[in-house]
Amino acid sequence: MFDYGLKIVYNLCHIAYRDIAVTKQMMAPRRLETYEVLRDLILSGELADDSRIVESTLCEQLGVSRTPMREALFRLEQDGLVKQDPARGFSVMPLTARDVREIYPIMWTLEVLALQLGADDIDIETLKSLNRSLLKTTKPEKQHEIDDQWHLTLISGCKNRRLLKEIGVLKQSAHRYELAYMRYCDKLGTSIEEHKTILESLEDSDTKKVVRLLEEHWRRGMNSLLDWLDWRGN
């Protein structure tokens, strides 16, 4: 009788643990989906920089409970896209010149390193094709997508996964600056010409010159952003 009672308790516990595991599996996609939707709203500018995030409203709009919403916000805080204040709650990180000055020098340093590590395996024809597509595109979101793909292709020969991961994290922080800038400023022609110059040096196998041109390309982008932020009063 005692053993039978233990067996019942064991079975009940097993069912409870199984139900918990199933619940976690069901919640996991919801958490990821909530995080990705919020991230895209921030990167696209639909959640404006320095704006307060009203959790209850977003929960209702996305059809999620408070738990996945909070977890998504904490993850976005780690990504540097939102901040938490005891009085205001969560808000979108403002666009600041200081942020640009911190992100971009690290960005070009790591991208140059990745380029050097994969210099023998660069798909020049794909880079040319992407640059031609960039020339034909008029929508800022698509322009940014193609430009991002151009830079990813440039360093695709690099096999250092940790390095590529760090570049990816930095690019995510830079994306909302670049998208916001591209919506207001038509300076794409300069980037396309700089891409062409980099490609010419790649075809000449002049790695030193490519490295110099790539850093100058990023520096010019940083200075343009800083000028724009100064104009905005940031």
pLDDT digits 0-9 by tens, 212-228: 999 999 999 999 999 99
pLDDT value at residue 90? 94
pTM, entire model: 0.77
pLDDT value at residue 17? 41
Residue 83 belongs to what H/E stretch?
A: strand 82-85
Please say whether the beta carbons of 180 and 45 come within 8 A.
yes
* Distance between CA atoms of residues 113 and 153, nearest Å: 14
Residue 57 clears pLDDT 80, i.e. is over it: yes
As a dihedral over the C-alpha atoms of residue 126, residue 132, residue 134, residue 135, rounded to 10 degrees, the angle is 170
Task: List the beta bridge partners of residue 85.
Answer: 89
Confidence category of residue 16, pLDDT binned at 50, 70, 90: very low
Domains detected in the chain: 2-92 (1.10.10.10), 97-232 (1.20.120.530)
